[in-house]
Amino acid sequence: MTPAARHAAAIGILDSWLAGSPIEPAYQGWARGARYAGSKDRAAVRDIVFDALRCRRSFAARGGAETGRGLVIGLVRSTGGQLTEIFSGTGHAPEPLTEAERAAGREPSRNEAADMPDWLLPRLEEAFGERTEAVCDVLRRRAPMHLRVNLRRTDRDTLVESLLREGIEAEPHPEVATAVSVTSNPRRVARSSALSEGLAEVQDASSQAVVHRLVPYAGRSVLDYCAGAGGKSLAFADLTDAAILAHDIAAARMADLPERAARAGIGVPTATPGTLDTARQYDLVFCDAPCSGSGTWRRDPEAKWRLTPARLAELSAMQDDVLDAAAGLVARDGHLAYATCSILKEENEDRIAAFLARTPGWVERERLRIEPSETGDGFFLAILARA
Ligand SMILES: C[S@@+](CC[C@H](N)C(=O)[O-])C[C@H]1O[C@@H](n2cnc3c(N)ncnc32)[C@H](O)[C@@H]1O
């Protein structure tokens, strides 16, 4: 496919999305019909679509319309590309710009330039003050890819060498001791032998940093109460000798965990609310709570436009329920840790304040707030204990 044909494909996918289809089915619908598209074409089309999702408002302003064409015109204008080369009308390229399209388009307003829904900006300002613009700007860019070295299998330098043999360049992360930043060919990682042999797991550096901060509190037992796919359970098992139990309300989310644990040379049993022994207590109960994911919106930009005030309130109620249930499982001298990959105060500091207000006898011991940046996703962690 020519670059122009790739942009034409992205326009079609973005139009389906704007008409109400979720982005994955919209992309897959195109990909299924595009037998002529090789893996590089598919990756390039996906990149254009996701760039446009991340920068929806600013691209629509520069492109003069919130349509697939408008977003892609805005993208080309924003990135200094040649509109006449992409919109040439030849072969499978998009049609040339009309007079009206050439005349349309303007510099985005301050809110549009942040590429955030209007209702969210004041909430981000509450959390970040003068840094709000910089934080929004980070979320407009592609996310870095990080791996966690599995220390029970290898070390970071050996992992970097092993990746290089498969044409993947990577370097030690500047801040997180177990993390490696992939600097070339990230799409090869999923099928690399480093992953299939259990030398590493894909995990953002901020997720790893949260586990590092909790290692001193692990004691002899950790309950990963909202384990999901179990990335943090595996990190705990690699970094501590504590017994780890992975728990989630949805068993299906943990389906791959036993296999991943076996590959890493560790054992991580799983439980659900139906099987969890609620009479048992743990030195550390870790709640990686369901949240808006706003600290990771670079990876899932669709979610930025899908979140509503009503959904945020629903999430806050779920977060409160998780904290209440988890607190009862903490041993007398143990710790309760609450984390989200959200950057919204409502899901973070406010949830801790509400828990402490309604649950006498608990105090906050430590807090970590990680701003989304070139080095990792946004994260929040609070560590609580009985007074
Ligand atoms: C942010 S994700 C966890 C991510 C995971 N810890 C990781 O590192 O990949 C939140 C998880 O909480 C689970 N969850 C939601 N409500 C829950 C509840 N009341 N009890 C336990 N798990 C819950 C969801 O099924 C989801 O898998």
SS3 of 224, please? strand
The CA distance from 234 to 141, in Å, is 29
Which residues participate in catalysis according to the annotation? 341
Q: Residues 347-373: what's their mean pLDDT?
A: 97
- DSSP letter for 37, please: -
Is 213 found in the same domain as 332?
Answer: yes
Summarised one tens digit per residue, pLDDT across range 113-168 is 999 999 999 999 998 999 999 999 999 999 999 999 999 999 999 999 999 999 99
User: How sure is the predictor about 237, in pLDDT bands with cuts at 50, 70 and 90?
Assistant: very high
**Angle subtended by helix axes 231-239 and 205-214, to nearest 10:** 50
Is ligand 1 within 6 A of the CB of residue 322? yes
| Cα separation, 74 vs 145, whole angstroms | 26
- Label residue 31 exposed, middle or buried (CB < 10 Å: 0-12, 13-18, 19+): middle
Among 70, 96, 115, the domain-final residue is 115
Three-state DSSP state, 61: helix
Average pLDDT over residues 35-56: 96
Are 223 and 282 within 8 A, CB to CB?
yes
Q: Indicate the DSSP class of residue 337.
A: E
CA of 285 to the centre of ligand 1 (A): 13
324 assigned to a ligand binding site:
no
Do residues 248 and 350 share a domain?
Answer: yes
Digit-coded pLDDT (tens) for 300-335: 999 999 999 999 999 999 999 999 999 999 999 999
Same-domain status, 149 and 259: no
Q: Which ligand 1 atom sits closest to the C-alpha of 253?
A: 27
Nearest atom in ligand 1 to the alpha carbon of residue 293 is 1
- CA 383-386-387 angle, 5° bins: 110
pLDDT in the model for residue 255: 97
Clarify whether residues 108 and 192 are in a common domain: no
Average pLDDT in the chain:
97
Describe the chain by its helix, strand, coil percentages, rounded to 5.
Answer: 50, 15, 35
Report the alpha-carbon distance of residue 230 to residue 259 in Å, rounded: 11
CA 121 to ligand 1 center in whole angstroms: 26
Q: Which of 202, 235, 267 is the last residue of a domain?
A: 202
Q: Is 121 among the domain residues?
A: no
pLDDT band for 222, please (50, 70, 90 cuts). very high
Whether residues 29 and 63 fall in one domain: yes
Evaluate whether residue 258 is within a structural domain.
yes
Which residue bears the tokens 């299998």? 153
Q: Report CA dihedral (249, 253, 259, 265) to the nearest 10 degrees.
A: -60
Q: Which residues constitute the domain of residue 179?
A: 145-202
